[in-house]
Amino acid sequence: MRSNGKKIRFGVLSTARIGVRDVIPAMQHGKNTEVVAIASRSLEKARDVARHLGIPRWHGSYDALLADPDVDAVYNPLPNDQHVPWSIRALEAGKHVLCEKPIGLSAAQGRDLVEAACRHPRLKVMEALMYRHHPQWRKAKELVETGQIGELRAIQVLFSFYNDDPGNIRNSSSKGGGALMDIGCYASSLSRWLFNAEPQRVFGLVVNDPHFGVDRLVSAILDFGVGHATFTCSMQIAHFQRAHLAGVEGHVELSEAPFNPPNDRPCVVRLQRGGEVQRLELEVCDQYRIQGDHFAEAILNDAPVPIPLEDAVGNMEVIDAIVASGCSGVWVQPDGGTSELAGARAGRNGGTVRYTRNTFCPTEQNGTKGL
**What's the Cα-to-Cα distance from 49 to each of 288, 296, 339, rounded to whole Å?**
19, 23, 46
End-to-end CA distance of the chain: 41
Residue 15: strand pairing partners: none
Please give the Cα distance from 24 to 33 (Å, whole number). Answer: 10
Options 7, 95, 101, 175, the catalytic residue? 101
Distance CA 15, CA 10 (A): 14
Which residues are bridge partners to 20 per DSSP? none
User: CA–CA separation, 127 vs 100, rounded Å?
Assistant: 6
- Local structure of 328: helix, strand or coil: helix
Distance CA 165, CA 148 (A): 43
Q: Give catalytic status of residue 101 as yes or no.
A: yes
Full DSSP string of 125-183: EEEE-GGGGSHHHHHHHHHHHTTTTSSEEEEEEEEEEE---TTSGGG-GGGT-SHIIII
Distance CA 128, CA 290 (A): 11
Cα 228 to Cα 201, 247, 253: the distances in Å are 10, 11, 16
Question: What does the radius of gyration of the chain's CA atoms come to, in whole angstroms?
Answer: 20
Q: Where are the beta strands (DSSP E) in the chain?
A: 8-13, 33-39, 57-59, 73-76, 96-100, 125-128, 152-162, 201-208, 215-223, 228-234, 236-247, 250-254, 267-273, 276-282, 331-333, 352-354, 364-365, 368-369
User: Which sequence positions are flagged as catalytic?
Assistant: 101
